[in-house]
Amino acid sequence: MGALLCVSVYGDAMATPMRVGIIGASGFTGAELMRLLVGHDGFELVLATADSQAGNAIAGLYPSLAGAYGEDVYDRYESSVVDGLDLVFCALPHGKSEAVVADIRGSVGHIVDLGSDFRLHDAELYPQWYDTTHQHPELLAEFAYGLPELFRDDLVNAELIAATGCNVAASVFALAPLVAAGLIEPAGLVVNVIAGVSGAGRPPKEHTTFCTVDEDVTAYGILTHRHTPEIEQALSEHSGKDCTVTFTPHLAPLSRGILATCTGRSAAGATTESAMAVLNDAYDGEPFVVVSDRSPSTKATLGANTVHITARVDERTGTVLAIAALDNLVKGAAGMAIQCANLAAGLPEGTGLPTVGVYP
């Protein structure tokens, strides 16, 4: 696929765009990266690997990409194919990025991992939550955590970035300012997420077939979901408080979307007005965050790198309620990764990223 060249169809490309590759480009997040990079004037996509699809036409798997990638095909991955690239996105299943990053680090300028291999700082958490021992724990401390709105300074010029995932992003966006401001108690937080099926990945699985998912909502990962420690880590680091979370995701018959409903004990004197003021202050000037009295809707975020947030305080029960919605493939994956990459590369943070959703 050496002929691959992604030039923006939305405007003139930069004189010397950065040369970019995607490892694991045949999955849903890889395809979303390819879609968004078409409109990115600072990045030129020159490599898209997918071992399961090597040699097959990109448009054959994703006809939606045909207008930009024509007859280009997926390449097979080997470490040498990324040599000299300015930036590489790893869009691989959990457990697959560890060896790849160790293999290519130093051969490329920046690496953004969309998986969870490097998100947790403590290597001992991987056996507990992922049932596996981390093979390169020495690299964990070198990764910047990829949630720009909360940890922006860590991402500027970063070589290695672990982009935040969809479940965690929605939960943390809703809760972080409230915990940091002391409006909600940090212990005993409860997060219930409704998640679209694309979050489970492209390969078919028994629990994600149409007949299984259609007209059904089910909770999964009860008390054991692997994203729990990541939510606790992000909230604790941002607030400086020891946060504990009960996290329960629910699979719903949606192609895309994450809706996180988060609750916790309110501090004395907390009101809906003060909670909304905290959210508005925290995200003032953030182009990819919409704070509103409206109840967030997954469909409102479709195709956009934008999260919608609101909050209420139930003074009768002493409970804070915070809700966030986002597109799991954009703000929860590919868009988040590109936003992080822009910061690492010294580009305007919003380059190539849509703020407006597709409707209906």
Q: Which residues are catalytic?
A: 166
**Amino acid identity at 147:** L
Name the token pair of 216: 């059904």
Distance in angstroms (rounded) separating the CA atoms of residues 352 and 24: 21
For residue 82, give the 3-state DSSP assignment.
helix
**Separation CA 26–CA 15 (nearest Å):** 29
Angle at 76 between CA 70 and CA 81, to 5 degrees: 95
What 3-state DSSP class applies to 87? strand
Q: Pairing relation of β-strands 319-326 and 307-314? A: antiparallel
- b/e map of 1-40 (b: 16 or more CB within 10 Å)? beebebebeeeebeeebbbbbbbbbbbbbbbbbbbbbbbb
Sequence-separated (6 or more) residues with CB below 8 Å from residue 251: 195, 197, 200, 207, 208, 213, 216, 217, 218, 220
Q: Which two tokens stand for residue 32?
A: 């979303």
Three-state DSSP at 65 gives helix
Reduced to 3 states, what is the DSSP secondary structure of residue 161? strand
- Tracing tokens 């879609």 back to the chain, one arrives at 35
| Antiparallel, parallel or unpaired: β 319-326 and 258-265 | antiparallel
Which one, of 22, 227, 234, lies nearest residue 111 by Cα? Answer: 22
- The neighbour count for residue 267, using CB atoms within 10 Å, is 16
Query: ω into residue 360 within 30 of 0, thus cis?
Result: yes
Instruction: Round the CA-based radius of gyration of the chain to a whole number and report it.
Output: 20
CA distance 101 to 2: 22
